[in-house]
Amino acid sequence: MAFDPSSQYPIGLERPDLITTPSGIPLSELSLDGERIAAGELRATPQTLTLQAEVAAAAGRPQLSAGLRRAAELAPLPDETILAIYTALRPRRSSAAELEAWAERLEELDAPLTAAFVREARSVYSERGLLAG
């Protein structure tokens, strides 16, 4: 059955068959009383974030949808990489060349939406004098 983002929310209640952990454990097999699982198994998967993005778009929230789509791209990346990107995006932390290098790396990591976001930030930071000197 196809997912209908306008009527099947919350996804975990309406379509639990679509939700799994990063290693593929179905939501229906998780419980607080059950077998212990690694903390990494409790992370949102790219698929779940994409479904949430569809719900946000169907609800008329395009900015939230875009943020969730970028999160879906970043979900498989190591925490250290995400933290480094976050740090690089802080005002006056990176030069235009450094932000472009991040955008190029993100494209290599199959994160084109996030790469475009970093390029947009680079442009805005340049206009507002927020790039590193």
The answer for residues whose C-beta is within 8 angstroms of residue 98's C-beta and 6 or more apart is 88, 132
pLDDT of 32: 74
CA distances from 21 to 24, 30, 92, 101, 128 (A): 5, 9, 37, 32, 41
pLDDT of 41: 87
Q: Which domains does the chain have, with CATH numbers?
A: 1-76 (no CATH), 77-133 (1.10.1510.20)
The answer for residues whose C-beta is within 8 angstroms of residue 54's C-beta and 6 or more apart is 3, 5, 65
Q: Which residue has the higher pLDDT, 133 or 103?
A: 103
**What does the angle CA 57 – CA 61 – CA 64 come to, to the nearest 5 degrees?**
90
Give residue-wise pLDDT tens across range 60-69. Answer: 999 999 999 9
The answer for residues whose C-beta is within 8 angstroms of residue 119's C-beta and 6 or more apart is 99, 100, 103
Taking the whole predicted model, whether its pTM rises above 0.95 is answered as no
Average pLDDT, the chain: 94
Give residue-wise pLDDT tens across range 1-50. Answer: 799 999 999 999 999 999 999 999 998 888 777 677 888 888 999 999 99
pLDDT of 115: 98
Closest C-alpha among 50, 52, 41, 68 to residue 10 = 52
